[in-house]
Amino acid sequence: MVSITEAADLLGVTPKTLREWEKTGKISATRTEGGHRRYQVAELLGSRTDKAITVAYARVSSHDQKDDLDRQKLVLESYCAAKGYEFEIISDLGSGMNYRKKGLNRLIKLLCSSQIDRLVITHKDRLLRFGSELIFTLCEIYGCEVVIINRSADNSFEEDLAQDVLEIITVFSARLYGSRSHKNKALVAKLNEVAQELK
């Protein structure tokens, strides 16, 4: 059981809206001895707002890939329009290992406030390089359908490992780049050589 403030935060609405929903019978609340409203979380999660939409998410790792980001958006827009979805596109420019991207955080907030009916992505790793399963679990909990447009055959263990190593090298190279230390610059150069050999 949660308070009216907690329930409003969970659904992304105001306490006033919850009181209106209670009056119209959309949700129900029990009262404490002091007369305060308490809500069942399970019931709240089934009470989507009327504004629930489809969200299409696109991401690339660097500024050099902005053309690819535009292509992803075009594919997502075309797909959603062809299906007749009312949709919003959220995009990020940042590493798949960065969990603090502005667009990803907005996506999670919308998802956890039951404002998304459907999440559409071009590939599984567009969400996160590691941890996309966590987002998919949140989608399942909040009743959000996940659509992956390009479902390719599963990679081999070696292919996945090579991709993971490349991503890690890219992230750490970016963090070391710009440092004035000759030692760090040499390390970045070596990491780049290793990355090229893995491609």
Q: Which of 16, 4, 17 is nearest to 115 (CA)?
A: 17
Task: Give 152's DSSP letter.
Answer: P
Report which secondary-structure segment, H or E, holds 170.
Answer: helix 157-176
pLDDT of residue 46 exceeding 70, the answer is no
User: 143: which residues sit within 8 A by CB, 6+ positions away?
Assistant: 45, 46, 48, 114
Cα 138 to Cα 128: distance, rounded to the nearest angstrom: 14
Active site residues: 61
Residue tagged 């409003």 (tokens): 8
In this prediction, residue 99 carries a pLDDT of 74
Mark 182-192 as b/e (b = at least 16 C-beta within 10 Å): eeeeeebeebe
pLDDT of residue 49 exceeding 60, the answer is no
pLDDT of residue 199 exceeding 60, the answer is no
Note the pTM of the prediction, 2 decimals.
0.56
Share of the chain above pLDDT 90, in %: 15
Residue tagged 């979805």 (tokens): 85
Q: Quick check: 146 and 136 in contact, CB under 8 A?
A: yes
What's the fold here for domain 4-45?
Multidrug-efflux Transporter Regulator; Chain: A; Domain 2 (1.10.1660)
53-148 shares the fold of 4-45: no
The residue extents of the domains of the chain are: 4-45, 53-148, 157-198
In this prediction, residue 24 carries a pLDDT of 83
Task: Out of 3.20.20.10, 3.40.50.1390, 3.40.50.1980, 3.40.640.10, select the CATH number for domain 53-148.
Answer: 3.40.50.1390
Please compute, for residue 24, the number of CA atoms within 13 A of its CA located in the half-sphere on the CB side.
Answer: 7
How do residues 96-147 score in pLDDT, each as one tens digit?
667 788 889 889 888 887 888 899 999 887 888 677 888 898 888 888 899 9
State the pairing for strand pair 145-148/87-93: unpaired
Cα 61 to Cα 128: distance, rounded to the nearest angstrom: 10
DSSP β-bridge partners for residue 53: 116
Q: Quick check: 164 and 131 in contact, CB under 8 A?
A: no
